[in-house]
Amino acid sequence: MFNEREQQLFNVIKALWNSHNSKSGSKKFSDKAKLKITYRAPQFPTDPKTQMETIIMEQNILQTGDKVAYKKLYPHLADKEIDKLIKEVRKNRLEQAQEDARVEVAKAEILIAGGIMESNTSNISKSGTVNSTIKSDITLGELAAAAPDIANPKVDNKAKHAEDSGKQGSDSRKTNKTSKLKNK
C-alpha cells in the first residue's frame, strides 16, 4: 500500500515538474521514470532473549516449507519469491544434512581406528547405514588415547566438595563431643 501511494505521488510530481519546467530548459523526468522504494519496517529495541526466540520461531516456520506460513511471515513477498525462498531453505537443509553425515562418518572412523567400535561392513542396511557395535569394556584412558581430540569428561567439583564437606562436618562434631567428654 505504501509503495503504491508513493509511486502515485511521484507520478504527480513528475507531471508537475515537467509541465512547469518545459520552457525553462531544466532537466525533465522521462516518461519511463519510476520511483523505486525500499521500505523497511521500523525496528524497536528488544532484549536479546526475545530476539533469539523470534529467530528460532522464524527458523521453525521456514523449516516447514508451508506456503501459507511463509505468506504470513513475509506478506511483502510475491508467490515466485516465496517459491524461490522455499527452494533455498531446502537446499540449505540438504547441505547441512550432508555436512552432519560427514561429521558422523568421521567420528565413526576415529572410533573404529581406535578400536573402540567394531565395524561390520558386510551388514549394510537398506537405508545405507553400517551396522556397528561399541565395545563395552573400553576404559576412559583407552578412549582418550584413541581419540585425543575428544574432550575428557569433567568431574562436577561442586558435588564432590559438597559430599566431602558433609563428611567433614559430621566428623568434626564427633571429635568436638569426644573432646568435651574428655575435658569433663
Listing DSSP states for 112-148 in one string gives HHTTSEEEEEEEE-TTSPEEEEE-SS--HHHHHHH-T
CA-CA distance, 75 to 78, in Å (whole number)?
8
The position carrying cell 509511486 is 7
* 80 conformational bin, left if phi > 0, alpha if psi -120 to 50, beta if neither: alpha
Task: Note the residue count of the chain.
Answer: 184
Q: Which three cell numbers stand for residue 46?
A: 528488544
Domain ranges of the chain: 1-41, 78-152
**What string of pLDDT tens digits covers the 184 residues of the chain?**
677 888 888 888 888 888 877 777 677 888 888 877 777 777 888 899 999 999 999 999 998 989 999 998 888 888 999 999 999 999 999 999 999 999 999 998 888 888 887 776 544 455 555 555 555 555 555 555 655 555 544 555 555 555 555 555 544 444 444 444 455 4
Q: Exposed, middle or buried, 82 (CB in 10 Å: 0-12/13-18/19+)?
A: middle
